[in-house]
Amino acid sequence: MISLAGVTAVLVVIAALRSLEAASDQEIVSGVLAGNTDYFEGLVVRYQRQVFRIALRVTRHRDNAADVAQEAFVRAFVALKQYDANRPFGAWISRITLNAALTLYSSGKKQGDERRTATLDNSNAADAFSTVARTEFETAVRAAVAGLPDGIRETFELRAYADLSYDEIAHELGVPRGTVMSRLARARERLREVLEQQGFGRESEAV
């Protein structure tokens, strides 16, 4: 009797692993929460490009992006109980990735230095000038984003770094879609103004 139950359990597990590729995110999540830690691999495979891309946008550095991406998955695993299965998993882990990247790597000089190293390493003398100009503009944009009022900034970051749709942002932040739309418009106007005040206008169009 016991062995029969054991065989059944093994068969169930094998069947579950086979169907893992076809399983929905929600099915994988409930499997992981039920104790099948290895199911989480399905989510790692499915979302690693997306997570890595967000991490790379924030850190501007492959090594740091790999760290952030790994950290984001671990954080998602740890917080998986809090995931609301009615919402898209992609948006949820994107937000986790963004927060991980911003807390780990966006603060202060360190990031700028690393980014400069990275970009200069990849440039030859001919386009060194445009590399420097672009780096300067990117730095100014980041500073301007960091200077946005909190609610607006987070909305804009979820859009610009994490590529979430307006509906996903509305879900994540718990605000109406119209609010997302107007916040983004305000964020962009504000960024444009700030950058123009700093002399980035025509130059930036040429970048």
Partner 1 sequence: MSAPGRGENICLNMRDLLSAYLDGETTPEETARVDAHLNTCEACRVVLARYRTIERAIAGEVPGADPAPQDSAVFTDAVMSRIREVAYSPTLKAHILKWRTPVVSALAIAATVVLALYLRPRTPEEPIHPAPATTVPSPQERREIAQTASKPSERRPLTSGGAPTPRTRAQIAEPPVVASAELGQAMGDIAPDETSVQGAKAKPARGGVSFVQDFYATRAAQTITGAAPAKSDSVVLDLRRKADAVRTELVSANETNSVDSLKLLLGDVLARIAERTGELVDIRAALTFWRQEYAVLAKQSSDSAVKSRVSRLEGILRSAQPKGSYE
Q: Is 92 in the site for partner 1 (CB under 8 A)?
A: no
Q: Hey, what are 123's tokens?
A: 């440039």
From the CB of 5, what's the least distance to partner 1, in Å? 24
Q: Are 95 and 163 in contact (CB under 8 A)?
A: no
57, containing H or E segment:
helix 40-59
Distance, in Å, from the CA atom of 77 to the CA atom of 54, rounded to the nearest integer, reads 18
Q: Is 207 in the site for partner 1 (CB under 8 A)?
A: yes
From the CB of 59, what's the least distance to partner 1, in Å? 9
Residue with token string 């099948």: 36
Q: How many CB atoms lie within 10 A of CB 97?
A: 29
- Pick from 26, 30, 131, 179: which binds partner 1 (CB under 8 A)? 131
Residues contacting 189, CB < 8 A, separation 6+: none
Residue with token string 């399983």: 23
Residues contacting 96, CB < 8 A, separation 6+: 72, 75, 76, 79
- Pick from 10, 129, 149, 189: which binds partner 1 (CB under 8 A)? 189
Q: Is 117 in the site for partner 1 (CB under 8 A)?
A: yes
From the CB of 3, what's the least distance to partner 1, in Å? 26
* Binding interface with partner 1 (CB under 8 A): 37-38, 40-41, 44-45, 48-49, 52-53, 56-57, 60-64, 66-67, 69-71, 73-74, 77-78, 103-105, 107, 115, 117-119, 121-123, 131, 134, 137-138, 141-142, 145, 159-161, 163, 165-166, 181-182, 184-185, 188-189, 191-193, 195-196, 199, 201-202, 204-205, 207
